Structure formats: structure tokens, C-alpha cells
Structure 1
């Protein structure tokens, strides 16, 4: 999904008021030196006029876009916010308070499906309605369930103009298979499969997978248990990431994409 101005709105300060006293609203501090962080993460958003840290806003965007496209609402009821663990992040050079979630993420099941469907339509119509929804439903985007996984930049296609995206990827491991709603635009069908099954379908040419997702699914094949993947993503996220740029080569009989 694409970041929208409301993702950086100061109105989120009211929604996250229980966490605004924590650095980056309780997200774990990344050890990676600022000068080696990808530009999208290293940019000081306050200098651009937003009180919402980039690491928070990009996660808000990810939660919002997931809701718009799939109907999956990754939020925490405000009254349960105090159940999130706020611990000393002793693994970092700076001992900052941060919110930790050791278990797989559970989605709330307290709102009627028709209500969620109504709000989804409103959010699709105007992204600022996502803030309004969180206020009225008294919930917070579960930014702490999203672990930084990677950053990919769309390669240049040479002389042919095209849209290029600087994209953040996050890992979120859910306790149960969620209910979904297709938007019939970007998503037409859902199928829950294991990483090896997805790669098999790709090799059989039953599905097409973009290079970043193909690369990441291949990595996930090395960690077969979901609980282990969750723990790995949690530990890996504080190490930061590098921005990846596939290099495109045109051969006589095919196009080649060189990956890191």
C-alpha cells in the first residue's frame, strides 16, 4: 500500500496517548547506526512537520492498507492496551522502554462483521477515516505486532517510464487464520499456504510472485515453525535492514533479475 498524509497526522497522538511518553511509542530501538539506515527509516519526520515517527507511521499505513485490501483488522482494543508488556530493552545499547509481545498475535473478535464492513468501505473512500474508526471503536493499530523485515526499491526499467516504490516490509505472525474480505481490485482470492507450497506453485507457473516476496518466502522456508519465525522476526527486527535494489539484465532469450 501507499503511505497517505493521515498516516502521519498529529491526531494519532490522541489514539496512542498511553504510549506517547515512550520513544517511538514503545517500538524497540533499532541497533543499526542511523547513517546506514535506509532513507525512508532515517528521515527525521519532525523536520517535515509530523510528530509521528516514521517507524510508527509506516506501520499505521501497513495496518490500514491490510484492512482496506483484505478486511483483516490488526488492532488492539484501548482497554487492553495496558496488558501489553512494557519492558526494559536490555539488548540494546540504550536501555529504552519498549512494548514487547512474546506470543503470536491474536486478533480481537468483539465487533460485528457488518460494522467492520461499513468502516472498511469508509476507510477505502478516505484514509483519514481510519483515525476516526480507531477513535470510535476505541482501538489502536497494533504497530508492535509488526516487525521490520526489509526495504526494497523498485528497479529502473531504463527508458520506459514506470512507477517506482520504496517499500517497507514487515513480518506479523498471527495465532489463528483470520477472516478475510476481498476488495476485488488488488486482491481477488485468498489461499493460505506454507512457504514451500507457494514456491512449488510458483515453479509450476500456477501463481506469479514479485521478486521481493519470492526472496522473502524463500527465506521463510528456512524456519518451518511459525513460533520460531515469530521469535526470529522479533530478534532480527532490532538489527535493522539494508535497502535492496534488484539489478535487471536483458539477455537474448530472457530477462534476469539479480537479487542480493
Structure 2
């Protein structure tokens, strides 16, 4: 193992959109996208809407000025900022000083604000869904309000080509992005061996009715509204493919059957903070095991582990050396997801069967 540069991760945000759906084992669907072939790692790679933070667009101080002009109380923005000692770097205060610097007019630096803007902008860029509030809707509720937009395709291309156009769109439509309906859900980072990795915050939001979609063809091959269990089944059949964060988050949701209970849980849990999940890779005989925070073999500064750690034995032998397990194997797909510790931050336990492939 050798020291790695801890600033090589590209900051991004993703949005898990939950919509009511009757007459199913789970009474809600969520939105996932098949990446277009030129942008996918493998064919039929399936992700939540989202993308990279654009500092010029998402951290523009003009957003603060616009919120004030629009009538958004400063306290409504402050409520989004979590004051926890152990925030992951992606959500820690940017710059120096206290959180109050966010409310000066020099720079937007609170990532709870800027990454919500990223998630909402990318959602509009990729599938044409604009989640926003007009002046008579500033009750800052926990349900998102999709807005029908004239000239949606033209605006989508403008924002896709130049992210700063998102602010112009909001000004012209006399709306503000619905930051308050986005609930902090989780954070994932690529293993340190990935040369151009991502550090991503996942937000969750809820809609009462299914919004219409407009797929951006250079990024999205197909959009799918399905239950978590249905997505996991398609993955098991090889019809879609997930990186570990998508598989893990769907496995968390697989045991939740009710839209209302998930909404209540996500709303309350979002104030408890987030632990960064950066997998550490162990090479065992015949398999690669990824360990996550809380596992006995997880190291305190994974961002500095620049390589795969060798274990002299099989994955089963590796398991017997560990009392506290939080790990999975990752080959053609994620398998053997195990967790026998309390989930951090009051979160959901993934639905899994120890030592076996995920059963649905």
C-alpha cells in the first residue's frame, strides 16, 4: 500500500425519485436510467439521475441573490445545513471559518445547498423533470412538485450545453429549485485505485404523481419506473447492470413496502448525517471482497490506500477472521452482501442473505 492523492475524486450528486404506484408488492416505483452506450461502462449500465457538480453553475453566488429576491427566508436555507462533527469531506464546510460564511455574498460553499442544486439540474438535463416551487408554494414541504415547462426540449438542451442556464430557466419561469424536498440519503466514493473516481451524495425525493420524462439522447438510452425488487430481479437476470452503490441502495429499499413509511423514514433520517462508503478491496483466492465502514477489516483512511490488499486465503476464510461484517463480493455483479452490524446514521439494513447470492 502507498499514499494516494485524496483529492482525485470528482464531486457529484444523484437523485432517487420515489413515486406512488398502487397494486404492487411495493406501492411505489423509483426512476432509474440506462446510460447511453457511449457513456456506459458496460451495456445496460443503470443508474439514478445525477452527474458532476459544476462549480461555475452550482456554486454561483447569484443563486443566493436569487433566493433572497424570490422571498426565500435565510432560515429556510439554514435548515438544510447539518452541523455534525464527523461530516464526510464531500459534505464538510468548504473553505475556512464557520457555516455562517455560506450566507455572505462572496461564495456559496455549503455543499448541502450546492449538491442539491447539482442533483436537480442534472435531473432536468437527463430526463426533463423540473422539481421546483413558485412563490405561492413556499411552504418548504417534503413532497416535490414537478412543473410542466413550455419549450421543455429547448430548455433541456440549453441547460445540458451550459449548466449556468439552469438559473436563467428558474428566473424566467419564476420558480426556485425545490431544495427542501430532497432528503440526504447516502454518500459513496469510488475505491482509491480508480484513477478518475467519483464521490457522490445521493438524495431522495418523493412525488405524488408520475412526472412526464424527456430523455436526453446523448446520455440516456432508456428510463425505467420500477420497484426496487423489480430492478434487483432484472439485475439478477443480467438485463441491467449496477455498480455497487446502486445495488446497495436498492437492497436497502427492497425491504420497504410502503411509500408513506419510506417518506417518513427518509424525512427523519436525513437529519442524522451520512457516512462515506468508500470500498476497500481485498484480493482473496478466487474472488475480490469489498469491505465498508464498520467491518473489522475497514481501515480508518481508505482514501490513502492506493491498491488492492492481499489476503492469503479464500473469501470464506477471510470471513471467519472477522467478527463484524460489512462487505460484498463484486465480479460480474454484486454478490454476497453481508452486514451484521447496526447500519450507521440510523439507516436501513440492506436485504441480504449471509453467504449467498441476493435472494428476492
TM range (shorter): 0.7 to 0.9
Shift of 1:116: 1.5
Partner of residue 233, structure 1: 266
Shift of 1:127: 0.8
Mapping of 1:40-79 within 5 angstroms? 40-45=90-95, 50-77=107-134, 79=135
1:22 alignment partner, SS class: helix
Separation in structure 2 between the aligned mates of residue 59 and residue 29 of structure 1, nearest angstrom: 11
Shift of 1:81: 3.7
TM-score (norm 1): 0.82
Mapping of 1:135-146 within 5 angstroms? 135-146=171-182
- The alignment status of 1:255 with 2:305, answered yes or no, reads no
Shift of 1:45: 4.8
Deviation string 1:175-223 (CA, Å, 9 cap, x unpaired) is 1111111122332101211001111111111110111111111111121
Separation in structure 2 between the aligned mates of residue 174 and residue 46 of structure 1, nearest angstrom: 37
Mapping of 1:101-120 within 5 angstroms? 101-102=141-142, 104-109=143-148, 111-112=149-150, 115-120=151-156
Mapping of 1:160-179 within 5 angstroms? 162-179=195-212
Q: Give the total of aligned pairs.
A: 233
Shift of 1:46: 7.0
Q: Is the 8 A contact 1:8 1:57 kept in 2?
A: yes
Deviation string 1:10-66 (CA, Å, 9 cap, x unpaired) is 11023211225216x1534536x22x1111211235769513522111100100011
TM-score (norm 2): 0.60
Partner of residue 218, structure 1: 251
Deviation string 1:126-153 (CA, Å, 9 cap, x unpaired) is 1111111111111111011110011111
RMSD: 2.1
Q: Is the 8 A contact 1:38 1:242 kept in 2?
A: yes
Partner of residue 16, structure 1: 67
Shift of 1:75: 1.2
Separation in structure 2 between the aligned mates of residue 14 and residue 156 of structure 1, nearest angstrom: 38
Higher relative strand content: 2
- Who wins on radius of gyration, i.e. which is larger? 2
Q: Mind listing any 5+ residue stretches in structure 2 that lack a counterpart?
A: 1-50, 293-325, 327-360
Q: Mind listing any 5+ residue stretches in structure 1 that lack a counterpart?
A: 85-98
Q: Is the 8 A contact 2:108 2:114 kept in 1?
A: no
Deviation string 1:204-258 (CA, Å, 9 cap, x unpaired) is 1111011111111111112111121111111000000111111223345443333
